[in-house]
Structure 1
Amino acid sequence: MSEVAKILEGAIRHDPEQAISYGALLADKLERTGNTRQATLIRNVIRKAPARNADGASLDVVPRRPRDEDSKLATVDVSYPADGGEPWLHLSTRVLAQIEDFASSIEKRDVLQHRGIDIRPRLLLHGEPGTGKSSIARAIAARLGLPLVTTRSDALVSSLLGQTSRNIREVFEYASRWPCVLFLDEFDALGKSRADTREVGELQRVVIALLQNMDAFESAGVLVAATNHPQLLDTAVWRRFDHVIQTESPGESQREAIFRDVLGFLAPNDKDIHRLAQLADGLSGAGVRAAASDIARAEVLAESESLHLAAAARRLARFMLPDTLSRSGSFDSDSEILALRTWAPDIFTYRNLADLFGISTRQVTNHLKEHHGGLPTHTPPAI
């Protein structure tokens, strides 16, 4: 087992934190496979460990976070995603299958190694902003039952000569000392192509340091990196990843699932959820969730007990038509009426527009006539 090797390494290096961390992981793994007696023996040994190490520092399963020498800020954040993964992780079948393949290979690492198949648990995520890269990293950590160690670019990248490379080394050393998922967010800030002649020598040395530390990162650790700009990455960086997933904006079924998750307490009917998902075409997963949360907040403040489609669609329009409508609400009502009517005439009928804006249907008609802009002439329904 890879945990045994890490325990021995911690003992040889006189690093009790590493030995205890991987001992606890090994005990958990043994217990899950039914070897409760061996798990209990290991936990008893851990409990007998001294409260402090040789340096007098408190002994804990979680090592102290590395810090940037210049800013004194921690270069990583540590979180503990809930078991069971992200309940709101709605992705395409293709992406979910790739995540499953990656996670399964880690969970069955011992079986694969027994067959002589070695794996490098490294995953590169790339795609547009808001398409679920950070959520995938959290879901993988939760699936594996490991803490998530996320790098902080604001502290990791230093203005001091050579400090960024040192920070990178310390982050990898930190992640090697205990069982975790190391998540390198905004990865292009570190792995930028060395062929870019605009980059100075210091930034090119950062890439070399990154590659060296990735190569030295033990197989017991899990590495996930994410970037919005894959075209900026150095070609050598790509070769370090056995698994690569391109994320994408959600399809209609995924958008429906997000709306249903967020708005479920308002007991929406399937037809309304379906229509909102259609109207949200083109939004990223994060954008759909933000719009759904905005709709939910407005409904709660209005003390509504059920979803009102026209009001919900009006909130959604502020995310779909940002150039026309201001999300702050400080926009011209005439322009909004025209935009809504043009965007979704099946929802924004004259009656619904009148109710939403607190005016008469005749006033709605006048607004549209004055700003028709090529709109077809509609006869307002009888009052």
Structure 2
Amino acid sequence: MLDVTAEDQALLDRYLAGYQRLIAGQIPANTAARRHFIAVARGLALPATPHEWAYVKWSLRQRRLDAEPKHDRRLHSAKAPLQANFGRTDWLRRWVSGTGDAAMYGWHRLVALSKRGAAQASDVYNLLHASDLSAQLDRWFRAQFGGAKPSIYDKAMDASYNGTHVGGGDHRLFDGGHDLLGAWQAVAGASPHDSLLQEVSGYMLGLWRDLVTPRGLPLFSMEKESFDAVSTYVAGVFGISGQWLKDVLTVNVGELLGTAVGTIAVLLNWDKADVDRFASLVGSFGISAIMAANPLLGLIAVASLARAYQRASHGADLSAIASGVLRGGSGAGVFILTASLIGGPVWVGLVAGICAKVALQHAWTHGAQLASGVEWGRIADAVAGHCRREAYETTASLKELAEFRRMVDR
């Protein structure tokens, strides 16, 4: 059983009202420690500090008291240690209560681990897909899930390309038969003798075969001449290559999987009490989406960032969002840059990228902790006081010098 110790009770006697005001939002959660305390109180993180453990034990005690019959509550005192809550002979009630505490603690731990695991797994996958490993991942998906014999519906979707041969390997973006609407029109006209169920099945299988190819499924179709004009313009103005532009206009199964796990991670970590982790995740997704030309993941990152900004209640939250996005984005950028610069096998670059990212995150975290421990207000006051004294002494010296000159002139 999680017992309230004398040390816990001392903290509760002094700070319980402050804990409750912080959780209620009456005290701003403008530090990482306060945000983590709120996450612990809501069951979204594990207790780590004496204050957090004291509040968790107090909450469990109050929950047990609320569940007891009213005539038993007179045996308890609000400030008594938890050991006094039950008689020594009431072993059954003690055992049931302790089992409930353990189950609740285990559930909180499972939730916290699930959130952290989803965030790390989605971050790692999207970083890998944004690295040089993405080509191997796309080929693996095609080898595992592609290769089926083309059906009449696949041939109908490729009919325009087979007649013109415009676009080569990128023809899905230009022939009008592979985007969501064009594919359905091609499938619906493939045979006059099939049923609606056969058409729907052929449509879904056709889209799936496009998704498992490295070039992927186009979000929409466009004329090749129009694409060439847009590609030439963005290359001249922004330096964006035509291949990256093709990638951002299509999506394959690897990018779709990255978007799915990213969405799950965002939903699990969508908590105002842990703004830093959420913003860091969004920042990492943003860089991964740009480097991998994943339009869906980019939309998730932008929408999540906009929602976080909308929910920010004051300047401290906005600062935490900016800091988290910068930390996550810089970590992703360092990983991708290091992995691409290191020669040799792909795995060597990936290991080097992971080491560089971990080192940067470690330096960022400890640097923030050191900065938060500095009493910047006292330093500013000391500097301002020193400047005032210097200004006063300088002014006094100038006055004395002017007085001396007047005396000399006489």
TM over 0.5: no
Question: What is the TM-score with the length of structure 1 in the denominator?
Answer: 0.21
> More strand per residue: 1 or 2?
1
Decide which structure has the larger Cα Rg and report it: 2
Question: What is the TM-score with the length of structure 2 in the denominator?
Answer: 0.20
